Amino acid sequence: MKAIIGLGNPEIKYKNTRHNTGFLIVDEILKAHQVTLINKFNSFFAKKDNLMYLLPKTYMNLSGNAILEIINFYKLTNNDILVIYDDATIEFGTFRLKKSGSFGGHNGIKSIISCLGTDVFDRLKVGVGPVPNNISIDSFVLSNFNDNELKNIELMGKHAVKLIDCWLNEGMEAAQNKFNKKMI
């Protein structure tokens, strides 16, 4: 059993913000796999075959709480999850897969590390940067994508479907070798 987890904020006003990139990418994966979410585990949740999808409704800063629920319920290990989230320090359209690391200023990842008690879990950073000089990082990640960027997010979601398949069938190292690059 594996879990694909997208980070974001559940309110409609955050739907198309950069900070909801994890939700947006997982939405594209759900479309491709023809999966519908339900409310469970304080999240939007789905399970199909041996793959689960989770979009925590706990808001970004408490994402770890919902993730810990699913890990405990299904007896998952940290190796069974892939967390997808935005990274404003990486160029827009770039994927960066990692097996561990600090929270890097991202409060969703900080919450997960705190709840799991480790920074060792697979993650996919999706580049939404760079942050313009005249705006704070908080304002930037909470700003909406423009229409062209949203189309590119959809395209990145299609790439993410292939990335997930590689991660599941060939492992993290193979996925890193194939997908750690600018995707658009």
Based on the residue annotation, tell me whether 19 is a catalytic residue of this protein: yes
CB 52 within 8 A of CB 33: no
Beta bridge partners of 95: 126
Given 19, 33, 106, 159, the catalytic residue: 19
User: Catalytic residue positions?
Assistant: 19
